[in-house]
Amino acid sequence: MDDNQLVNEVMARLKEEGSVIVTQESMMMLSQCLHENVEIINLMREMDEVMQGRLHKNLSRMSIRLQEVAFTVERVAQDQE
């Protein structure tokens, strides 16, 4: 069995048991990506305000939710340390 097969088998078994562990680096990358998405949404909100505010409420809700998810990911990463 080569390394890739071994890794795939181990990950499959961990997933079956519900105990897949995400690496700290992956969680930090996810957190960073989520924060960047929040920034993009906030820029879109600002642009929308100039264009009469049609999307403002939906973008605001999306931004808040992404921030909540990002902070949750950060807390999980800290708890795994």
Q: Is 16 part of a structural domain of the chain?
A: no
Cα–Cα nearest to 73, from 26, 32, 31: 31
Cα–Cα nearest to 37, from 29, 49, 75: 29
Q: Is 12 part of a structural domain of the chain?
A: no
Q: Is 3 part of a structural domain of the chain?
A: no
Total domain count, the chain? 1
Q: How confident is the model at residue 20 (pLDDT cuts 50, 70, 90)?
A: low
Q: Is 37 part of a structural domain of the chain?
A: yes
Confidence (pTM)? 0.50
Domain containing residue 75: 22-80
- Over residues 44-74, the pLDDT tens digits come to 888 877 777 667 777 788 888 888 888 888 8
